[in-house]
Amino acid sequence: MWGDRLFTTRDYREVLARRDVDAVIVATPDHWHQKITVDALSAGKDVYCEKPMVQLVEDGKAVVDAQKRTGRILQVGSQRVSSIVYQKARDLLASGAIGELNFVEAWIDRGTALGAWQYSIPPDASPSTVDWDRFLGRAPKVPFEPVRLFRWRNYRDYGTGVGGDLFVHLFSGLHFATGSNGPTRVFSTGGLRYWKDGRDVPDVLAGLYDYPAAGSRPAFTFSLRVNLIDGAVVETSEFRFVGSEGMLTIDSGVTLARTPRESEPGYTIDTFPKAVQEQYLKEYRQKYPQRPKLSTGSLATEEKFEPPHGYSDHFEHVRNFIQAVRTRKPVVEDAAFGFRAAGPALLANISYFEKRVCNWDPEKMEMV
């Protein structure tokens, strides 16, 4: 596709040995992310690592430590942190536009075979055209089976399922918009409902996460889900931030719906004796003078913010990485940010498969 003069190799270490290579993109299956990223950083290369940054929770600290030790640029590939849409949401939340945040829900739903990772398998795939042992790496040694390579996201040996492929995008967006480092408590549930094609990961997964208070931001609960057979032809994705005075929604843009709290609480006095009702209303109206009815109805207001036509956060994310390589200025989605997004996503897998609640320390980035 890109010409006949490209250097190609089966061994990534030959790329890292080249002095004319300044940076690399790690776009391998998940089970290779940690090893190649650490080796690349240690070889003096800057790294763009696709999400999730690591396949296993125990992989994360080595990447964080390698970036600190080498001082190289590392950016994880979840583009929402470079989006002007999420920057707008971040600004609105920080300004108190919806009051005190108390609940967030998000989802990514798909309804197609390709969306469920049933990728095409080349008809000429065979042990003579595939370096099977090199692909397996640290994964269990099993006989050659093309479906496990070309649809690797479906298998726990190589991928991270719904959690690492899609939950991690939602965590990246949430952490960027709220300034949070992550949850303290995790529970997930779901199942393999439809795509019973040999995969060993669920196609429906839902999670609940408790986020602690931090600074002026109160504690909140995060609910998220992915459904790979929701009946829709196109992918749908949305965020809803619920506050004490409104709601902020992210889809293609940002919608701010503000509903200020009523100044008076109302009353339920129908069953009180008549004399008690009259006394209660007298005291109530002294405290809350009655306002005239507004002919316009609701006090709610709504504002919509859309990015420019043709805007691409994918483009912005790659551009931010290249600028960081040139200027040496730190990126937002570095190793620590990437692990704090991957960690709770991977805990969803642990919670699902082990049927238990998981506790997480978002500051130390470790299970409790």
Q: Is residue 263 part of a domain?
A: no
Q: Is residue 112 part of a domain?
A: yes
Q: Is residue 82 part of a domain?
A: yes
Residue recorded with tokens 């396949």: 55
Q: Is residue 4 part of a domain?
A: no
Give the separation between CA 222 and CA 184, rounded to whole angstroms: 11
Task: Convert the pLDDT of each residue in 240-250 to its tens digit.
Answer: 999 999 999 99
Give the separation between CA 82 and CA 198, rounded to whole angstroms: 36
φ, ψ dihedrals at 68, nearest 5°: -65, -45
Domain span at residue 238?
12-253+306-367
Q: Is residue 258 part of a domain?
A: no
Of 117, 339, 347, give the one whose Cα is nearest residue 222.
Answer: 347
pLDDT score for 308: 96
Give me the number of domains the chain comprises: 1
pLDDT score for 260: 75
Helices marked H in the chain — which ranges?
12-16, 33-42, 60-70, 84-94, 132-136, 146-150, 161-162, 168-178, 274-287, 313-327, 335-354
Task: Convert the pLDDT of each residue in 47-60 to its tens digit.
Answer: 999 999 999 999 99
Give the separation between CA 338 and CA 324, rounded to whole angstroms: 16
Of 153, 119, 147, 129, give the one whose Cα is nearest residue 31.
Answer: 153
pLDDT score for 300: 66
Flag residues of the chain having pLDDT under 70: 291-300
Question: What CATH number is associated with residue 354?
Answer: 3.30.360.10
pLDDT score for 299: 54
pLDDT score for 261: 74
Angle at 55 between CA 54 and CA 59, to 5 degrees: 60
Contact of 182 with 360, CB cutoff 8 Å: yes
- 7, containing H or E segment: none
Q: Is residue 262 part of a domain?
A: no
Q: Is residue 151 part of a domain?
A: yes
Angle at 79 between CA 77 and CA 83, to 5 degrees: 155
Q: Cα separations (Å) of 333 from 29, 44, 171, 298, 342? A: 20, 19, 12, 41, 11
pTM for the model stands at: 0.93
Q: Is residue 288 part of a domain?
A: no
Q: Cα separations (Å) of 252 from 7, 144, 213, 257, 311? A: 39, 42, 29, 16, 10
Residue recorded with tokens 């498969």: 353
pLDDT score for 290: 77
